[in-house]
Amino acid sequence: MKRIRCHLCSSSQVTQGLLPTPTTALRGHGRQLCSSSLHQQARNTAAHTTGTCFSQNSALYKATLHQQVVRRCASSPRSQGATIDGALFSTKATMAGEPIVHSLFESKTGTWQYVVADPSTLATVIIDPVLDYDQATRAVATRTADSLLSLVKQKGFRVDMILETHAHADHLTAASYLRHRLAREQGHRPSIGIGMHIGQVQKLFGQRYGISDDEYEGVFDKLFDDDESFNIGNLRAMAMHLPGHTPDHLGYKIGDNVFCGDSLFHVDIGTARCDFPGGSAHNLFASGRKLLGLPDHVKLWPGHDYPPEGRGAPVPWMSVQDHKAQNTHLNDGVSEEEFVALRQARDANLAAPRLLHESLQMNIRAGRLPRLTASGQRMLYLPLKLQGVEW
């Protein structure tokens, strides 16, 4: 296990003005699982979540039923110690042009990670992988990333690309670690891809954190143009530009699936914040409408989930139709003016992400470790909060 030591400095030196000052700091083994009681619980929970009755063919009903199975498994005496981390949800390709999808939830940061494979060639991409980081001890670990590697090996996949939807501000990326491991284990090095607008994000935060440009220039192998098409084996994919949360933000459309990062979340949460530098509620509204302009059956796989009380387990995807009818921020009845007012009011009361400074410094480097100092340490920088008192 490697450790990164953080260096403290004044906020005026590095990150003054990074975010607006918040006005309020918010904070089955051997068992028959899918019994009639589970189906009834799923119907009740789906109805409670959205205020709507759902048929057994609805995406929310199926996802909610899956939650009931997960909870029943976790409470089984034969699955003690089970958590919601891991491959909670997998889909098989049911027609040509559709991928195999494995979604893995990292519970400490509420992050969905995706392993998406072409069933005909087993060519694979990994989307938004997480590097474990303990803020109290400053210890970096690879348990979550190693679980992705185990899944890839178990399924016989060949990872060709590691895709980032944007430079995350709430978790550290494992992209560079995974590339290092996969280059050794599968005989070729996967590329790391992100949107073409990452350069402005790297320059901004490189300056704010005092990172020399040679530590972040050229760290991404592929910079996608807006709405650029590419292949994953025999699958056709597209990098959809979805600005709003950040200016560099992408979603990846693969078959009838969009891995939409921090744009749309679960319908009972709504959308991602827009108060980072370069963020825009107007742009996020346009990106949301772009997603909801896709056919109703398309699945939207979010970058995070933060289940509210009463919902239970995280849900890996919902359909365009679900969002158009039920998204609390961006359903079909919400105008741009209403959305912008709502989003800006919410953002004014949000505290900064817990891992904001550590995440940005690592992620503009594509997850590469900071350069060794003369004393042999790898440093991240954290601003002091002086509360208006200086001497």
- HSE-up (13 A, CA, CB side) for residue 65: 18
Domains of the chain: 2-16+85-384 (3.60.15.10)
The DSSP string of 71-91 is HHHHHSGGGTT--S-EEEEEE
pLDDT score, position 59: 52
The whole-angstrom distance between residue 329's C-alpha and the CA centroid of its chain comes to 19
**CA dist., res. 40 & res. 135, Å (int):** 41
pLDDT for 78 equals 30
**pLDDT score at 91:** 76
Alpha-carbon distances of 349 from 15, 136, 145, 283, 327, rounded to whole Å:
19, 25, 33, 20, 21
CA pair distance 350, 352, nearest whole angstrom: 7
pTM score, two decimals? Answer: 0.80
Helix and strand numbers, DSSP H then E, in the chain:
10, 19
246 phi/psi in degrees, rounded to 5: -140, 160
**Greatest pairwise CA separation for the chain in angstroms:** 68
Name the residue type at position 372: L
* Interhelix angle 281-292/336-347, nearest 10 degrees: 130
> Rounded to the nearest 5 degrees, what angle is found at the Cα of 218, between the Cα atoms of 116 and 279?
70
Instruction: Identify the CA nearest to 251 among candidates 273, 226, 269, 286.
Output: 226
Q: Which long-range contacts (CB under 8 A, 24 or more apart) does 84-90 make?
A: 84/313, 84/314, 85/144, 85/147, 86/147, 87/151, 88/313, 88/314, 88/316, 89/63, 89/316, 89/317
d(CA 344, CA 372): 40
Rounded distance, CA 362 to CA 323, Å?
33
Q: Whole-angstrom Cα distance, residue 105 to residue 88? A: 7
The span from the CA of 39 to the CA of 387, in Å, is 53
Non-local (6+) Cβ contacts of 327 within 8 A are: 264, 267, 270, 271, 288
With a CB cutoff of 8 Å and minimum separation 6, the contacts of 152 are: 115, 124, 126, 159, 182
340 to 24, 36, 58, 294, 343: CA distances (angstroms) = 19, 43, 30, 22, 5
Q: Divide the 391 residues of the chain into consecutive groups of 10 and give the mean pLDDT of each group.
A: 43 37 35 39 38 43 48 35 48 82 97 98 98 97 98 97 98 98 96 97 97 97 97 97 96 98 97 96 98 98 95 94 97 97 97 97 98 96 91 90
Instruction: Retrieve residue 125's tokens.
Output: 């991409």
Q: Is 59 helix (H, G, I), strand (E, B) or coil?
A: helix
